[in-house]
Structure 1
Amino acid sequence: MISSFRESKSDDRRFYIFTATKTLHLRTDSKRDRVAWIQALVSTRSLLPLRPLNDNLSLVPHDLSISTDRLKKRLHEEGINDDLVKDCEQIVLSEFSEIQGQLKVLCEERTNFLDTIRQLEAYNIESETSGFHGDYQLTKHECSSLGRGNSECSTTESSDDIEKQELEEVSYEEGTLFFDTEEYFTEPAVSCGSVRGAMDHADDLQETKKQLDNVEKIHSDNEDCDSRYPQIERRKKLPDPVEEVKGVSLWSMIKDNVGKDLTRVCLPVYFNEPISSLQKCFEDLEYSYLLDRAYKYGKEGNSLQRILNVAAFAVSGYASSEGRHCKPFNPLLGETYEADYPDKGVRFFSEKVSHHPTLIACHCEGKGWKFWGDSNLRTKFWGRSIQLDPVGVLTLEFDDGEIFQWSKVTTSIYNLILGKVYCDHHGLMHIHGNRNYSCKLKFKEQSILDRNPHQVHGFVEDLSGKKVATLIGKWDDSMYYINGDGSGKPKDCSPSSSATLLWKRNKPPPNLTRYNLTSFAITLNELTPGLQLCLISGI
């Protein structure tokens, strides 16, 4: 059922259809076609208008009635006088009328509840797509004032500036194209010629395989253990549960909290995964070797490769969210978490610095770079879905003084009542640099008919605004880049020879549980032999 629809302000061929749980982004072949679509939707809307919240339409038929003829006939056969028969008939009609009234009230409550959910979600979608269109620029002067451990530019005072911005209002979106990673890089092109096209495609596959091998080699090189530290053997699976876990209905827990802030709603421990929010922040550093590579490229004077690897790192933090439907534990105020991974060359520290709102600050040091930021979530519950809007800025500083800053995109969790629960990340990510390049990435929102979800598309531009590289991929799989603005991508030939792999997601562990933790997440709260000695006795 359509809740509302709206034309795009920046594209005369694009329009949007808002349903209770999805937003359809549609683009016609011409302006005339869009007008025809809008007219058809308006005429359909006039036939099936939205019911207001105070509408008392009932699912109970108005002509519902009951007959007492059989009852009167049976009583007369038993020799009951007419007065007693009329009394019995009146009792039956009175009971039926009461039951009918109760049924009508229940149906009205159900109708109003569904209408409330539908209109709340429609209002939320429309208000955000027509809301604030702000942006900010990171200047050299601002970056020079940043301390290495200071996060003045990472406070939440300018949270309005980093809210999710309307997708169609961004200038670069006018030429945005989306490609399925697997189809884009591995499908043979029929129109490229028969035998020669097949041979070229085989060469392309071989080259892609070499790229994968190179990435794995670089990954292994970056994860070589520092000679100053002993090699630590980390666990491969979670400990077995002590007792069987009994399922709990999520809807029964949150049905009375529609439209409320879920950070203040207490849920059973069944819905928690065995890590805290402090540890979950460290999951974004799973692919820290990308930052090591970026630092090396910068030292060699290759600023373009540096920001490409930074962009791949910003996307890679979402890969661990695939299939993760449980929430992390909320730490105590002042609680800290420290991780030392000499095999990765990183040291990480996080602390909960505010309780309401929940605010977590983190700091990490790697091989030639430092990473810090603060994390806060604004949650909105819309009946059948939950929307998580991150608030805060992440900052990456290399030892040579180059700084990048970005904010995370919106996360939505769908099908809380019916269907398979799944999450999606959507919105715009601006990676602002203080030197030669900046990057814009768009996380495409998954639609109902989308066969290729989780797509990410973006580009790198220089100080003059010229697009120098194009990025494509999926946030749960891999990221590639092509030199140039990507406008000349052929449709009839496989362009894998011109595309270079930046990042590939690690394989999941063999012993998956209902938490779907990655191999890296499994090790976050592991007590290694050295840590066992640091525990206070009696705790």
Structure 2
Amino acid sequence: MKALKLLIPMEARKMPKQRLSGGAGGRRCAISSWTNDRDSYWKMMHKYIGSDVTSLVTLPVIIFEPMTMLQKMAELMEYCELLDKADECEDPYMRLVYASTWAVSVYFAYQRPWKPFNSILGETYEMVNHQGITFLAEQVSHHPPMGAAHCENEHFTYDISSKLKTKFLGNSVEIYPIGRTRVTLKKSGVMLELVPPPTKGNNLIFGRTWVDTLGEMVMTNLTTGDKVVLYFQPCGWFGAGRYEVDGYVYSAAEEPKIMMTGKWNQSMSCQPCDQEGDPLPGTELKEIWRVAPTPQNDKYQYTYFAHKINSFDTAPKKLLASDSRLRPDRYALEKGDMSKSGSEKSRLEEQQRAEKRTREAKGEQFTPRWFNMTNEIAPTPWGDLDVYEYNGKYAEHRAGIDSSSVAGETDVTSIEFNPWQYSSSSSQ
């Protein structure tokens, strides 16, 4: 019933449950009740088919994982050493192999069927102490929900403006990653742009929920015109083809240079090829990446890196009060207290609505703290996107804290979550 609750409207969840009697008659009653409920849910949900259900349906905590959308964005950095290798690589085509493999690597984590918490407007997420990177994300818009992120180390900078679009299809939902992702490699100065494939959640109402990624991923070197096109094979009957990824690195003249193959839940390899796309004689497949070991029997199917994302060990000194780790609903769910998580989630959502009313009464617009909205509109295969850019203020903020002699004296676990622009909203 966990997966069933994902798309049940409030009116359906208020329906009284039927009492079941014991014995064989009880089993018949249970089957009859389940069938009646199933028919009722279908009747109520059919009107949402084809719609973006994210904004139409209230979601219960039971289908959530203890992570927010901003933290989910940070999961792409688990194997960021692949970008380091891309920056150090002199071969322009192998450079794309490493960078595109980095983009593929996150899908092992993205196959989890749990839903992350929608981020509160003004919420942030900071991460340090991982491969030398500094990662910052901020929720820059509530309607539509949008996040922006910036990440940097000595080898690369990463910038993304992101929002999701969903399409409910009955027992499944398609998720379209409307966003602009750009990576600049510092040594060569080249800029890479990524267009990821869509994802599909299956068996949302009936059956075991599972996630598949299918279609094309394209990474383009905007400096040279070279590109990678990788095809994510959709899952066929009895799981045939699931996880498989194949494609080529192409020159600016659209000639195949390197073939790539693997599985997004396991590993990726590459091999030089001729103009027909066939492997060059005397060459062998070279493994580029392999998924790291994962915890056994983890409740949320988390990787070790996903646990690090929730840990204060990857938090900087004097953590921002708007940080996702500090959310009481997320933290309560992490501790297994679903009742408190649900009540805190409702309280935060009401505070967000209260702040919106205050802002509208003042005739003001929300202004992100760490990102600026540009005049640029980026086209994507699934719709246009407003582009936000990192404004550099966070680096100044962090430098000031790191130079302070009292920077390490604050107990981050004692900080109250506060993303609110108006101080009155935090107490309502």
TM-score calculated relative to the size of structure 1 = 0.49
Instruction: Confirm whether residue 396 of structure 1 aligns to residue 275 of structure 2.
Output: no
Query: Could you tell me how far 1:248 is from its partner in structure 2?
Result: 6.6
Q: CA deviation at 1:432?
A: 0.9
Query: What residue number does 1:309 align with?
Result: 98
Of 335, 342, 353, 2:140 maps to 353
**Structure-2 change in CA distance of 1:359 and 1:464 (3 Å):** same
- Say if 1:470 and 1:486, in contact at 8 Å, map to a contact too: no
| CA distance, structure 2, for counterparts of residue 252 and residue 375 of structure 1 | 26
Which of the numbers 239, 246, 270 marks the counterpart of 1:481? 270
The equivalent residue for 1:330 is: 118
1:530–1:382 CA distance, 2 compared to 1 (3 A) = farther
Identify the residue that residue 378 of structure 1 maps to in structure 2: 165
Kindly tell me: are residues 288 and 488 of structure 1, through their superposed partners in 2, closer, same or farther at Cα, counting changes over 3 Å?
A: closer
- The 3 A distance-change label for structure 1 pair 449 and 527 is closer
How far apart are the structure 2 equivalents of 1:424 and 1:531? 42
Q: What is the aligned counterpart of 1:519 among 297, 301, 304?
A: 304
Aligned to 2:254: 465
Do the aligned partners of 1:395 and 1:405 also contact (CA within 8 Å) in 2? yes
In percent, how many aligned pairs have the same letter? Answer: 32
Q: In 2, distance between residues paired with 1:538 and 1:384?
A: 36
Deviation at 1:497, TM superposition (A): 6.7
SS at match of 1:278: helix
SS of the equivalent of 1:373 reads strand
Equivalent residues of 2:233, 2:241 under 8 A apart: no
The residue number in structure 1 matching 2:53 is 262
Matches within 5 A, 1:130-209: none
Are residue 279 (structure 1) and residue 75 (structure 2) matched?
no
* Contact in 1 for aligned 2:259/2:277 (Cα 8 Å): no
Q: Which amino acid aligns with 1:388?
A: I
Task: Please say if residues 248 and 270 of structure 1, whose CA atoms lie closer than 8 Å, have aligned partners that are also in contact.
Answer: no
Partner in structure 1 of residue 405 of structure 2: none
Secondary structure of the 2:143 match is coil
The one-letter amino acid paired with 1:532 is D
SS at match of 1:423: strand
Cα deviation 1:79-125 (Å, max 9, x = unaligned) = xxxxxxxxxxxxxxxxxxxxxxxxxxxxxxxxxxxxxxxxxxxxxxx
For 1:372, what is the secondary structure of its paired residue?
Answer: strand
Aligned CA distance change for structure 1 residues 449 and 533 (closer, same or farther; 3 Å):
closer
Structure 2 CA distance for aligned equivalents of residues 525 and 270 of structure 1: 19
Number of residue pairs the alignment of both structures matches: 285
After the TM superposition, list the runs of 4 or more consecutive aligned residues in structure 1 that deviate by more than 6 angstroms: 245-248
**Rg comparison, structure with higher value:** 1
How far apart, CA to CA, are the structure 2 residues paired with 1:412 and 1:263? 14
Please, which of 235, 251, 254 is the counterpart of residue 446 of structure 1? 235
Aligned residue type for 2:286: T
* 1:376-430 alpha-carbon deviations (Å, 9 max, x no partner): 1111111110010110111000113101001221100111232221111111122
The answer on whether the counterparts of 2:107 and 2:264 sit within 8 Å (CA) in structure 1 is yes
Give the strand-richer structure, 1 or 2. Answer: 2
3-state SS of 2:128 partner:
strand
Match of 2:285 in 1: 499
Find the aligned partners of 1:536 and 1:310 in 2 and give their Cα distance: 37
Paired residue secondary structure (1:394): strand
The one-letter amino acid paired with 2:411 is Q
Q: Which amino acid aligns with 1:508?
A: T
> What is the Cα deviation at residue 252 of structure 1?
4.0
TM-score by length of 2: 0.62
**1:281-316 Cα shifts (integer Å, max 9, x gaps):** 00011100101111111xxx2222211100101111
Answer yes or no: is the 8 Å Cα contact 1:303–1:436 preserved in 2.
no
Q: What code does the residue aligned with 1:314 have?
A: A
Q: Does 1:291 align with 2:78?
A: no
* Partner-residue secondary structure (3-state), 1:392: strand
Is 1:532 the counterpart of 2:411? The answer is: yes
Q: Partner of 1:523: helix, strand, or coil?
A: helix
* Contact 2:249 2:256 (8 Å CA) reproduced: yes
The alignment partner of 2:214 has SS state of strand
Q: CA RMSD in A?
A: 2.7
Residue 475 (structure 1) shift: 1.2
- Match of 1:453, SS state, is coil
